[in-house]
Amino acid sequence: MTELRFAVPWGQLAAKAWGPQEGRPVLCLHGWLDNANTFDRLIPLLPQACHYVALDFSGHGMSSHRPPGVRYEHLDYVTDVHRAVTALGWRKFSILGHSMGGVIGGMFACVFPETVRQLILLDSYGFFPIASGTILGHLKKIITHYARIEVPSTPKVYTPEGALQRLLEANSALSTDSGKVLLERGTKEVPGGVIYSRDIRITVNNAAPLSVEQCLLIMKSMRADVQVIIANEGLLADRKSGINTDVGKDLLRGFTETMKERFQLTMVDGDHFVHLNDPEKVAGVITNHLLKEPPVHSQL
């Protein structure tokens, strides 16, 4: 494994890489509030001939925080992806995205369809639609939340055990060992203990205000083969996630009708962090998809 850094105007985007540089490139995108370590247990089970780069989105993991007064929006994370793949010199690659990382991957595959060979979504529908009647309320919530958290404050210092307990309380799907893996990259030592390294501003779930209908429309621009892996105890079963089962079914139906033979859906036993808690449950599906030859029309 190799640590990578990409220069940006406010500092750096951090990433980690596995596998030969000449291998087929795969960009790995983590979920909301997580970091690149979310793939630590999965990637060793995947084809070793591929070259994997797991990115820390800005404000997450070891990546720099954005300047004061700047918000974090999903489109900004799409820009993070564009900066990273430009720095890497990748013209065509696959995306493996968990949760929010799948949403960012889905948006990128729509905006830059000629660059994405395969889109593999781990407990993610590839989009995060907002109900049409709640978009104004969504925007108001974002603005007022930022106003509250932008007041300067001293980060809370935890013992390592306390930081782990806080993480597990906020993420009931995480196993203790998986929590430790994320905190290896998600905390930093300070006098008296550790603090979370992420920017407090990323706690605002700042999704693009797209309706289901808009998501289904822009989905049509994708050229990638799409593999969706849904955990039976993950998003599909979680009505508190912001994407309930009805919306999820609408998006999956959209993939089926739009992609036809380019779309595959696989259900697995597990929770939202199945790729980290029990990576062997999804490794085979991902491997089969990565090794599948893309259709001729999707190649440069």
Split at pLDDT 50, 70, 90, the class of 292 is confident
Q: pTM of this prediction?
A: 0.93
Lowest mean pLDDT among 119-128, 146-155, 194-203: 146-155
Domain-wise residue ranges, the chain: 2-131+207-298
Among 120, 126, 277, smallest CA distance to 215 is for 126
* Residue-level pLDDT at 153: 82
98 in Cβ contact with 275 (< 8 Å): yes
What percent of the chain is modeled with pLDDT above 70? 95
* Residue-level pLDDT at 231: 94
Provide Rg for the chain, Cα atoms.
18
* Residue-level pLDDT at 148: 87
Q: How far does CA 190 lie from the centroid of its chain? A: 28
Active site residues: 99
* Residue-level pLDDT at 285: 97
Q: pLDDT tens for residues 167-224?
A: 999 999 999 999 999 999 999 999 999 999 999 999 988 888 899 999 999 999 999 9
Average pLDDT, the chain: 92
Secondary structure element (H or E) that encloses residue 271, with its range: strand 263-271
* Residue-level pLDDT at 239: 52
Lowest mean pLDDT among 77-81, 129-133, 184-188, 190-194: 129-133
Residue 242 has pLDDT above 70, yes or no: no
Which of the pair, 73 or 297, is modelled with greater confidence?
A: 73
d(CA 109, CA 221): 8
Q: Under the phi-then-psi rule, with left for phi > 0, alpha for psi from -120 to 50, and beta for the rest, what region is 199?
A: beta
- φ, ψ at 253 (rounded to 5°): -65, -40
Amino acid letter, 202: I
Query: In the predicted model, what is the mean pLDDT of residues 62-85?
Result: 95
**1.10.300.10, 3.40.50.1820, 1.10.10.60, 3.40.630.30: which CATH number matches 2-131+207-298?**
3.40.50.1820
Lowest mean pLDDT among 37-46, 96-105, 158-167, 206-215: 206-215
Q: Is 261 exposed, middle or buried (0-12, 13-18, 19+ CB in 10 A)?
A: exposed
* Residue-level pLDDT at 15: 98
d(CA 12, CA 4): 10
Residue 6 has pLDDT above 80, yes or no: yes
Query: In the predicted model, what is the mean pLDDT of residues 38-66?
Result: 97
* Residue-level pLDDT at 280: 98
